[in-house]
Structure 1
Amino acid sequence: MPKQQTVSTIKKLVSEGEKFTVLTAYDATFAHLVSSNGVEVILVGDSLGMVFQGKESTVPVTVDEMVYHTAAVMRGNQGALVMADLPFNSYGSVEQTLESSGKLMRAGAHMVKLEGGAWLCDSVTALSRAGIPTCLHLGLTPQSVNKFGGYKVQGRDDTAAQTMICDAKALVEAGADFILLECVPADLAKRVTEAVDAPVIGIGAGKDTDGQVLVIYDMLGLNPHKMAKFVKNYAAIDTTWQKAIQAYVQDVKEGHFPAPEHCFE
């Protein structure tokens, strides 16, 4: 079995100038496939609501569903750090956040991910004190799709960009271990990465973040919907899923992915 990845091992990789990779998985089979082919972090994403359950958004996903899928992933995991999403409306208060996070951690997660800015600082601090590592998701936060009016690039104007940088700094100061940026201009993602003392993961956020994440169904060409700009179909290049995942890992670590055509300005 590969070496067990932890928050500390990921931070050490980043401190040594090495990129790290993240892929989603929602069951034991894909967890085994991902973690045994060089991916350091598995995200049990609430994206399962769309790609696994066929729903229109991530909003309907429940804590119980996330617990079920997290436990399944853990049974197939081969040493990756497992990060699980707190789903929509499961972290509205510090008390609710601790309760929901505890369920995911008892299912086997090593870290929880929350969508939102500086308003979550109190919850992040409480989770840190409770021994629960956190990743904070900024930019396009899919649980807020109804507020945004669709899936749109975030942070393009100066005010929004500065707010995102300030939010990231405040969250890390509050105890956040990782930051995840989705669908933000590449130059803004670089500024955030340079501004915080924590690993930054990107998806549609350029090549200058410390790590990259994709949805497994997207990068293997299994999603029947139109491919997002930031996705590369590795299954169209390599003949097996194992080789496709290995190619993704190699591309991220060598700085070949994301390429300019996968980024936003």
Structure 2
Amino acid sequence: MSAPTAVRTALALDGVVAGYGQDPALHGVDLVVPEGAIVAVVGANGAGKSTLLRTISGLLPTSAGDIRQDGLSLAGVPVEERIRRGIVHVPERRQVIPELTVEENLRLGALWRRDPAERAADTAEVYEFFPALAERRHRAGSTLSGGERQMLAIGRAFMAHPKVMLLDEPSLGLAPKVVADIMSMLAWLRAEFSITVLLVEQNVRTALSIADTGVVLNLGRVVATRPAAELEADEQLRHLYLGF
């Protein structure tokens, strides 16, 4: 019998402390994100979820601890280089460039990529999954609905050829049907392109429904890491930290 294949680690955080000014929002966070997995980080407001993603993407510096991608430390690596290494951050509030068209926003995501044929193929993939964006490809971002802007933000991140996609509250304020479409796309990105997804969500049930692993963050500390289905089934933990 052959030995099981070892699971590679896409991201590893070891004792990470980070925050704003003199007030840390993360207190010694340890986290392992396996390659090709969807990991959902859940918790109440103020738990440090957005700070976690901003620290991984390089928007916030660490004051202690280390973040490693594929075993290599990201200490001192600027945001732009992290993107080139495949760490792409989709921030909260669907941040697209409102003056640019849908197509121009997608092109912006692929700005550093050299092969025009690859860029065209990836644009076609985005339009195939989100037909609404294809219909509006020449319209300005400012004319899109909230759901369409979120689709565009994720599509633009895909255009950067991510290895790891960091998503901050992608379901915030969206209709259930749109949320379902977005979660389906995240599952598709993992299945078709082996993209690792680190998903921050307050919509706990939705996040855990597509995740392999759930991580509960509370006041800047990891209090539980479990298989997603097991975490959702833990009534005591849900009542204590997740409010349902």
Q: TM-score, normalised by structure 2?
A: 0.40
Structure number with the higher strand fraction is: 2
- Larger of the two Rg values belongs to structure: 2
Structure number with the higher helix fraction is: 1
Pick 1 or 2: higher relative contact order, CA cutoff 8 A, min separation 6.
2
